[in-house]
Amino acid sequence: MTDRFTLDRRAAIAGATLFTAAAVRSAAAQGRPAIDAQTALIVVDVQNDFCPGGRLAVPKGDEVVAVCNAIGRRFQNVVFTQDWHPEGHSSFASSHAGKKPFDVVQMPYGPQVLWPDHCTWDSAGAEFHDSLDIPHAQTIVRKGYRKEVDSYSGFLEADRRTTTGLGGYLKERGVTRAVVVGLATDFCVNWTAQDAAKAGLETYVVEEACRAIDLGGSLDKAWADMAALGVKRIKVADLG
């Protein structure tokens, strides 16, 4: 009896494993992500300063909050990124005499868009939007806290050498797939999604769960750059 139970149990486990693997392959073939223990939702910079009334407000940025909340509960693994700058950060226009927001200057690591002061340490603007409600998010990755270098990506700072630790965290958790949402599509979402793909993750961006700044065609360029790296642009409905 015991031997038969053991064999039946093994057969059931093997069958379930094959079914799960087939479901994952089917989802990937249809250009949509499987939502399982190997998938992480990365919620990028849904902070007060990037929402209406903030110091660097993304147009209609607050509209992503309800979408993020709705889909967030479907993921076992959820990570938040948080812009977190010291006063006088080198990316602030106020740190450069004679410069104004959205001017571009050269930094040691390349061209840098200058921004209004935003998301400074312990400020109300740096806090997550009050209505963002994904209580089981396990990790917050802060970025841009080094005064001399900006950081759009949740994986790598703008010098493209300094890591945030997110890649190692996801690897240790066994994550192989990333779904990216948040603000702004053409900057922090874009860089985060590109770096996720470069790290070998199957990567998706949910269009309705993002909003853009769109400086001089930056949104179209962002979508093209992401697509070139294999990042898939999907709708909420594609999450199944």
Q: Which of 188, 182, 186, 193 is nearest to 213 (CA)?
A: 186
Reading the block at residue 83, the tokens are 């812009």
Close Cβ partners of 184 (under 8 Å, ≥ 6 residues apart): 45, 50, 58, 61, 210, 211, 212, 213
Q: Residue 101 in contact with residue 116, Cβ under 8 Å?
A: yes
Written as one string, the DSSP assignment of 208-231 is EEEE----TTHHHHHHHHHHHTTP
Task: Kindly give the residue spans of alpha helices, DSSP state H, lying in 73-187.
Answer: 166-172
Q: How many helices (H) and strands (E) does the chain have?
A: 5, 8
The four Cα atoms 214, 218, 224, 228 give a dihedral, to 10 degrees, of -130
Instruction: For residue 42, give the 3-state DSSP assignment.
Output: strand
Non-local (6+) Cβ contacts of 113 within 8 A are: 91, 102, 103, 104, 215
Active site residues: 45, 143, 188
CB 91 within 8 A of CB 114: yes
